[in-house]
Amino acid sequence: MPHHACYYRARFIWDLYQENSYRMWELVARRTLLALSVFLAAFLGYLLFLNTDSVPTSQPASLGSIEQADAKISEFTFTQSKGDVIQWQVQAKQARLFEREKRALLSEVDVTLYGVKGKELTVSGEEGTLDTATKNFVLANRVDPLVVETGSGYTIYTNHLVWTDDTKEIRTDDPVRIVGHGLEVTGRGLLGRMESEEFEVLEDVHVHLSPAS
């Protein structure tokens, strides 16, 4: 009888030891998982912050980002030629160049496009963006419309113009007004083809005749 009592007592103590060890490891595991969860949450938050900070914006660059330009050029001129023939030229009072993005931000911009017969179109804008790789550019005014003078004697008014160099086309989706030769044409959207020297108002076209003087 004493032998069995000693056995049961040893068995009971061993069971308590196993139970306490299990609870201790369970506590350690919970604390470890909690610490890992906190670390992962902090790490994901840090990655989210970096990604949010680095996402490019389609809006014009802010003054802060402009100050990070690789170079600043006053009296900037960019000329696109084919052989000895000048196709177009962009001049700006100031340009800020971003080499990695292959982009130039321009202010006080003058653009001249040349057609088969020579100077075909001139336009001035408050600001512009030139892609130095594709040679595409965007021109815009914040308040007053852009004033586009064509070689054929028409004046085009709109707020935004996009030049695509591959197709030699100038385009806008904004409202457009064209005046000249006794006509006033209004509508939305414009497509100008420099090679054929044709301009087309795309939508909601209205034509008014001015009385002969």
Residue for token pair 């971003």: 98
Per-residue pLDDT, averaged over 5-31, amounts to: 52
Q: Which residues contact 76 (CB under 8 A, 6 or more apart)?
A: 90, 91, 92, 93, 94, 95, 104, 106
In tens, the pLDDT along 65-101 reads: 445 888 999 999 999 988 888 899 999 999 999 998 9
Give the pLDDT score at 117: 72
- Helices vs strands, H then E, count in the chain: 2, 11
Q: What are phi and psi of 132, to 5 degrees?
A: -75, -10
Judged against a pLDDT cut of 90, whether residue 30 lies above it is answered with no
**Mean pLDDT calculated for residue range 151-175:** 93
**Alpha helices by DSSP H, the chain:** 2-54, 63-66
CB contact set of 150 (below 8 Å; sequence gap of 6+): 120, 121, 156, 180, 199
